[in-house]
Structure 1
């Protein structure tokens, strides 16, 4: 499992007093930085590999400004060229949101998916959701 702690910002708080629902996809993506580094170590967008093809976000509890959140990311499934992640966001030790996201290892220059390399697959397997 990958873990990231984030501090909610005032600008992410909406008029109802909780973190706006448009903020959570950004937070979940921020927690995927270690995965992005596996596929594109130099973070060069011209060589970027991870292309999102599906995401499903479930809101469980409201999230508030003033208390850090923790995002946990697991690898749920590793395919030939794709991987599915399962993610949870916690505040005060409680699950506030769940997300599932699917990425494809994609070659931008050739405009086609590529097999996930064995070295990356081995690292991903260390973070499997069981």
Structure 2
């Protein structure tokens, strides 16, 4: 069993003047899926540090519209020493519409020092 799929129901206000889901909304949806994945990997809502976004890239492959759910699955997640790289695929009507990649860094918010990716997350990733 892998990281659970995130399902998004597009809202009308997320469309642009052309009737597409606005490109900026996709970044928010990817954040929702990353949060779901982090919660799954760490068995709960928090770890000792926080995850800061170092980079995000999105490739828009097809138009996405209001009226049909979008599913987001983490196609690949791997750990570095202090970071996680998360790759996602977004599908609407069984078609790949967006591919994304994000790098998150694990940080102690008081000292601003980077923290090692927790062992519980590494262990869970090893089983996927």
Scaled by the length of structure 2, the TM-score of the pair is 0.87
Give the direction of change, closer, same or farther, for the CA distance of 1:103–1:64 in structure 2 (3 Å limit).
same
Summarize the alignment of residues 1-130 of structure 1 with structure 2, pairs less than 5 Å apart. Answer: 1-2=2-3, 3-37=5-39, 38-39=41-42, 41-43=44-46, 49-127=50-128
Alpha-carbon separation, structure 1, partners of 2:105 and 2:75: 16
Gap regions ≥5 residues in structure 2: none
Q: Secondary structure at the match of 2:24?
A: coil
Gap regions ≥5 residues in structure 1: none
Scaled by the length of structure 1, the TM-score of the pair is 0.86
Q: CA deviation at 1:122?
A: 0.8
Question: Which whole-Å deviations, capped at 9, do the CAs of 1:103-124 have from their partners, x for residues lacking one?
Answer: 0111101101111121121112
Which runs of 4 or more aligned residues in structure 1 lie more than 4 Å from their structure 2 counterparts after TM superposition?
A: none
User: Which region of structure 1 is more displaced relative to structure 2, 102-111 or 33-42?
Assistant: 33-42
Q: Is the 8 A contact 1:39 1:50 kept in 2?
A: no
Aligned residues: 125
Give the direction of change, closer, same or farther, for the CA distance of 1:83–1:4 in structure 2 (3 Å limit).
same
Question: Which whole-Å deviations, capped at 9, do the CAs of 1:65-94 have from their partners, x for residues lacking one?
Answer: 000010011443211111101101000101
Question: Which whole-Å deviations, capped at 9, do the CAs of 1:14-72 have from their partners, x for residues lacking one?
Answer: 1101100010000011112233324593459xx65111101111000000000001001
Alpha-carbon separation, structure 2, partners of 1:85 and 1:51: 13
- Note the aligned Cα RMSD (angstroms): 2.0
